[in-house]
Amino acid sequence: MRIIRAKDYEEMSGLAADIIAEVIKEKPDCVLGLATGSTPLGVYEKLAAKYRAGELSFSRVATVNLDEYKGMGREDENSYFRFMRDNFFSKVDIRPENTHIPDGAEEEEKACRDYDRVLERVGRIDLQLLGIGHDGHIGFNEPAEAFSKTTHCVRLTEETAEANSRFFSGREEVPSYAYTMGVGSILSAKKVLMVAAGADKARILKKAAEGPVTPAVPASILQFHPDFTLVADAAALAELRG
């Protein structure tokens, strides 16, 4: 596990974008695993800036997103489909048909099965970008009794629903369930890159990076990944030993 210490959110975003840009330059038809949440927004901005500057093209890149709220249609303003389109895909030259997100409007079994087929078809993820939830969730893999393998439906914890309610008009608007890529699929990515910022992530980052590997802290499994990089700002790293 490699930890890259950034002084602030801006620097974290730039460093993470540089790592992703390297992967694309080395392999223009790479598969990127992408994440939502507010933390990666700066990374997407930096990547879009590289595209505008003519440094980077996404024309052959394929993407697979981690998750989507159950029951949410693509055009719903709170769908992760919209989030990705508005914050990233519309700002670069990626082909919409090369971008993939679980279908929130589809019924549970079919949505998950179809998404696993998509993952199989696009092939091994070259780099998976991740944020981290306050309870250690990655994608929407909440603390559980065991690590999940493939795409599945999860019930959001109260803490996650509360944290994500800032994107909605109120807590009661937050869906109770989501479809998420399994921890197994995340782990099979060649590289995993996590971004984290802010003092509110310090406690969980310490647990995830230095605590026991346990499904009670899903992100802790990344300690076992052979190519895992954490890029975080000073506030988020405040409780780590090293």
Query: Amino acid letter at 9?
Result: Y
Please pick, among 67, 68, 103, 233, the residue that the annotation labels catalytic: 67
Q: Give φ, ψ of 156 to 5 degrees.
A: -70, 145
* CB-CB neighbours of 104 under 10 Å: 23
The binder of ligand GLP chosen from 160, 185, 220, 229 (CB under 6 A): 160
Q: Does 131 bind ligand GLP (CB under 6 A)?
A: yes
The 63-82 contact track toward ligand GLP, x by CB under 6 A, reads ---xx---------------
Q: Which window, 23-31, 132-140, 217-225, 232-240, contacts ligand GLP (CB under 6 A)?
A: 132-140
Here the tokens at position 148 are 């999940």
Question: Residue 26: CA atoms inside 13 Å, Cβ hemisphere, count?
Answer: 10
Indicate the residue among 114 and 159 with the shorter CB distance to ligand GLP: 159
Cα 11 to chain centroid distance, Å, stands at 19
Alpha-carbon distance of 242 to 1, in angstroms, equals 12
Q: Which window, 50-58, 130-138, 168-176, 208-216, contacts ligand GLP (CB under 6 A)?
A: 130-138
Indicate the residue among 50 and 201 with the shorter CB distance to ligand GLP: 201
Q: Give φ, ψ of 33 to 5 degrees.
A: -95, 125
Query: Amino acid letter at 29?
Result: D
Q: Closest distance between ligand GLP and the C-beta of residue 69, in Å?
A: 9
Q: Tokens 């506030």, residue? A: 235
Q: Which window, 14-22, 36-44, 91-99, 183-191, contacts ligand GLP (CB under 6 A)?
A: 36-44
Q: Closest distance between ligand GLP and the C-beta of residue 53, in Å?
A: 26
Among positions 176-235, residues that touch ligand GLP (CB under 6 A) are none
Any catalytic annotation for residue 225? Answer: no
- The DSSP code for 103 is -
The binder of ligand GLP chosen from 9, 15, 33, 39 (CB under 6 A): 39
Any catalytic annotation for residue 108? Answer: no
- DSSP H helices in 98-241: 108-122, 158-164, 183-187, 202-210
Please pick, among 68, 103, 106, 135, the residue that the annotation labels catalytic: 135
The binder of ligand GLP chosen from 133, 136, 175, 182 (CB under 6 A): 133
- The DSSP code for 105 is T
Contact status, residue 187 vs residue 82, Cβ threshold 8 Å = no
**Burial status of residue 77 (CB atoms within 10 A of its CB: 0-12, 13-18, 19 or more):** exposed
Judged by the rule CB under 6 A, the positions of this chain that interact with ligand GLP are: 35-39, 66-67, 131-133, 139-140, 160, 164
Q: Which residues are catalytic?
A: 67, 135, 137, 142
